[in-house]
Amino acid sequence: MRVLLIEDEPHLGSAVQEHVRAAGHAVDWFERLEPAEHAVRTVSYDALLLDLHLPDGRGLDFLRKLRRRGDALPVVILTARDLVSDRIEGLKAGADDYIVKPFDLDEVNARLDAVSRRYFGKSVPVLQVGPVELEWESKVARLDGRPLELSAREWAVVEVLGRRRQSTVSKEQIEDALYAFGEEIESNTIEVYVSRIRRKLGRDFIRTIRGLGYRLGD
């Protein structure tokens, strides 16, 4: 998942970025709304973590603008305002979830996953792909009932493909979902991850569609 984080407190922002990244997601972090606005227009994000009080404006105005132009990007608000009226205002503005500071970093990942599941049709808790079973919530993959350990990045690749179950996903799309701005990507990184996944879950788990990309096999 590629996540946009807008948070002006540097220590909090860096910690959230690091923790969400450790869960296998790519995180672009901005401390101001203006560069975030450019980013959201140019990159296809899977979720937005949004602070409300920012140096150059209110997060809620940013969110309203997003919704007015029809952007359905899942949004989780991170705020110090915990009142019911603030929460109602946030949800009315189009937020999908609301986390009050201070929060547990694991809670952020859990909420991101929950929001993502709601948006990308992963309401089915278990996806069966041939002999492979994918449990989205617990992030467990089983081959013939035997649990296998996937790294965060490997699971992220599986998630990107699983989210677009019926489509072919290009290498660039996978890169976009997995790597934030400025992160070093080797030209064959995706191939390496696909290869590792195939070794664990079987050759037919991911099919290569020549010249187009990858999709989950069946």
Partner 1 sequence: MAGRSLVSRLIWMLASSMAALWLLGSVAAGVLTVFEVHERLDDAIEEVAQRLLPATYDAVQQPQAMQQMARRLVATMDPRALAYQIVGPAGEIVMRSENAPETPFPVPRQAGFHDIPQYRVYSQPAAADGYFIEVGEPAIHRTESLRRAVALTVGPLLLFLPLSWFLIRWAVFRSMRSLDRLRSEIGRRDGSNLSQIPDMGRPTELAPIEAAVNRLLERLQRALATERQFAANSAHELRTPIAAVLAQMQLLSAQLAASPHAERAALIVNQIKGLSSLAEKLLQLSRAGAGAGMLRERIDLLTVLQVLVDEFRRREDVGDRLVVTAECPDEFIVQGELDVLGITLRNLIENAVRYGDPGEPIEIVIDRDRQIRLLNGCAVVPSETLETLKKPFVRGCTVGAGGGLGLAIVDSVMKQIGGSLTLVSPVMGRSGGFEARLVFPEAI
Instruction: Answer yes or no whether residue 55 interacts with partner 1 by CB under 8 A.
Output: no
Cis amide leading into 147 (omega within 30): no
Candidates 41, 72, 91, 183; binder of partner 1 (CB under 8 A) is 91
| Positive/negative CA dihedral, 52, 53, 56, 58 | positive
Q: At closest approach, how far in Å is the CB of 101 from partner 1?
A: 4
Q: Considering beta carbons, is residue 10 or 203 the nearer one to partner 1?
A: 10
Q: At closest approach, how far in Å is the CB of 118 from partner 1?
A: 11
Candidates 42, 55, 70, 85; binder of partner 1 (CB under 8 A) is 85
Q: 31, 55 in Cβ contact below 8 A? A: yes
Q: Is 135 helix (H, G, I), strand (E, B) or coil?
A: strand
Name the one range near partner 1 by CB under 8 A: 7-15, 152-160, 172-180, 204-212.
7-15
**Site map 99..138 versus partner 1, x via CB under 8 A:** -xxxxxx----xx--x------------------------
Q: 59, 77 in Cβ contact below 8 A? A: yes
Name the one range near partner 1 by CB under 8 A: 8-16, 55-63, 118-126, 204-212.
8-16
Q: At closest approach, how far in Å is the CB of 16 from partner 1?
A: 6
Instruction: Answer yes or no whether residue 143 interacts with partner 1 by CB under 8 A.
Output: no
Which amino acid would we find at residue 152? A
Instruction: Answer yes or no whether residue 81 interacts with partner 1 by CB under 8 A.
Output: yes
Q: Considering beta carbons, is residue 100 or 143 the nearer one to partner 1?
A: 100
Residues 6+ apart with CB under 8 A from 133: 126, 127, 141, 142, 145
Q: At closest approach, how far in Å is the CB of 142 from partner 1?
A: 22
Instruction: Answer yes or no whether residue 18 interacts with partner 1 by CB under 8 A.
Output: yes
- b/e code 20-40 from CB counts within 10 Å (16+ = b): bbebbbbbbbbbebeebbebb
Instruction: Answer yes or no whether residue 39 interacts with partner 1 by CB under 8 A.
Output: no
C-alpha span between 4 and 189 (Å, rounded): 22
Binding interface with partner 1 (CB under 8 A): 9-12, 14-16, 18-19, 53, 80-85, 87-88, 91, 97-98, 100-105, 110-111, 114
